């Protein structure tokens, strides 16, 4: 990832976290990493534990940001979530949901789309 892409990605994640908090979610973890990959945001939405993938793009030329979360990426995120739960849930098995927050930057505007239960 280039430096510009990293800056855009971090900006998108900050916007996504603000969006989630404004909607009442409680952020538990950000940018959680393990050897298998990274979870962007782990949050609580009432009784649900929510794993949030954030996708940011600087225009619609390559489609909506959420389109980058394909079936293969969803499988990977589920595996990462299972690993996070193994390390943090203390043997409990909470109800979980997988969301995608799509951030589209362009033309001086910012679009935020929150897809609850995306996969």
| 12, 103 Cβ separation under 8 angstroms | yes
Given this model, what pLDDT does residue 99 score?
Answer: 98
Taking the CA atoms of residue 55, residue 97, residue 37 and residue 57 in that order, the dihedral angle to the nearest 10 degrees is: 0
Domains of the chain, each with CATH number or no CATH? 3-115 (3.40.1350.10)
Residues whose CB is less than 8 angstroms from the CB of residue 3 and which lie 6 or more positions away in sequence, other chains included: none
Given this model, what pLDDT does residue 1 score?
Answer: 57
pTM: 0.91
How does pLDDT run across 45-69, given as a tens digit for each residue? 999 999 999 999 987 777 788 888 9
Measured between its terminal Cα atoms, the distance across the chain in Å is 25
The mean pLDDT value for 92-110 works out to 91
pLDDT beyond 90 at 5: no
**CA–CA separation, 31 and 70 (whole Å):** 20
**CA–CA separation, 115 and 101 (whole Å):** 6
**Percentage above 90 pLDDT, the chain:** 74
**Percentage above 70 pLDDT, the chain:** 98
Given this model, what pLDDT does residue 107 score?
Answer: 77
pLDDT beyond 80 at 104: yes
């Amino acid at each position: 990832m280039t430096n510009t892409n990293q800056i855009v990605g971090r900006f998108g994640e900050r916007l996504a976290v603000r969006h989630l908090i404004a909607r009442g979610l409680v952020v538990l973890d950000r940018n959680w990493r393990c050897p298998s990959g990274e979870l962007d945001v782990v949050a609580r939405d009432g009784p649900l534990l929510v794993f949030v993938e954030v996708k940011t793009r600087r225009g619609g030329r390559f489609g909506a940001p959420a389109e980058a979360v394909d079936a293969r990426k969803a499988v990977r995120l589920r595996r990462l979530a299972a690993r996070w739960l193994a390390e943090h849930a203390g043997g409990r098995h909470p109800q979980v949901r997988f969301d995608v927050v799509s951030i589209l930057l362009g033309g001086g505007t910012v679009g935020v789309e929150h897809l609850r239960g995306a996969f």
